[in-house]
Amino acid sequence: MDIAYFNGTYMPRDEIRISPDDRGFLFAEGIYEVVRWYQGFFFDMDGHLARMKRSLKETFITWPDEDKFPAIAHDLIRLNHLENLQSLVYLQVTRGAAIRSHAFPIPPVNPTVYAFAKEFTPENTGRESGVAITVREDIRWARCDIKSTALLPNTLGFQDAVSKGFSECAFVRNGMITECSHSNIFLVQKGIVHTHPESESILSGITRKNIIRLARRERIPLKEEAVALRRLSGVQEIFITNTSGEITPVVRVDNFVIGGGIPGPVTRILRERFNDQICSYKHS
């Protein structure tokens, strides 16, 4: 039986009842986080906690127990006997339930907090040989830096990609590649790694931040600069990053083959260093 966290208690997941007046349901007024458990530790929990707090602040959602997120995540791993398995913990906070009105409830209501843990099997084939992605206009809102549960443009984009046999969908805004439906994107041009700068146009991925740190430490040239889609022909390597997939090489964008169809050396080095970093967490 899956045990989930719901508003301060741990209970069987299928016994959770959420109000139809929840503002997460009515307005998609909520934020979320996903952290990865590596059979013994969470990777960069501090980074995820800081981002979650920022998302709450930017959406004016108050969750007095926000600092309990790491403890809740650990409890869910233990209660679901996932200690020795690769797992993910998902946590979502909405503004809570109140009769529908665009204005925030007065007096404020308690937020709705839901979290669950699930076993997760990393997808290794694509991570080794590389994946194909497609490109779509970025039709999202102007605050993509908030990890909001309002993900309709992301799910529409990803579903379109999947239905056409692609592994991810990259978004383009004003001709510039921003990020993907649920990952950040890095492009290597003439030995320099490029990724869209932190701004309101992308989510500041925790994996992205760690890759940038690693690249700087390894003296791999990296610029936080967006790449124009029309410059794709000058790109030798692409990879995408997120919590579940870590670093995934991209070897085709729609019909355009990248790097001769095989993952390139910069991607490989960064993946090795990222793995080293995860191992060092294990031993710290």
**Minimum gap (Å) between residue 184 Cβ and ligand PDD:** 5
Compute the half-sphere exposure of residue 176: CA atoms within 13 Å on the CB side of its CA: 12
Of the residues 57, 147, 164, 190, only one is catalytic, namely 147
Structure tokens at 117: 């843990």
**Minimum gap (Å) between residue 36 Cβ and ligand PDD:** 8
Q: Phi first, then psi: what are they for 111, rounded to 5°?
A: -70, 160
**Minimum gap (Å) between residue 279 Cβ and ligand PDD:** 19
Nearer residue to ligand PDD within complex by CB, 98 or 115: 115
Nearer residue to ligand PDD within complex by CB, 98 or 148: 148
Nearer residue to ligand PDD within complex by CB, 203 or 215: 203
Structure tokens at 169: 């969908």
Task: Decide if 147 is catalytic.
Answer: yes
**Minimum gap (Å) between residue 182 Cβ and ligand PDD:** 4
Nearer residue to ligand PDD within complex by CB, 137 or 261: 137
Nearer residue to ligand PDD within complex by CB, 112 or 241: 241
CA-CA-CA-CA dihedral for 74, 79, 83, 87, to nearest 10 = -80
**Minimum gap (Å) between residue 122 Cβ and ligand PDD:** 13
Binding site for ligand PDD (CB under 6 A): 34, 179, 182-184, 203, 205-208, 241-244
β-pair partners for 241: 184, 247
Residues annotated as catalytic (active site), given as ranges: 147
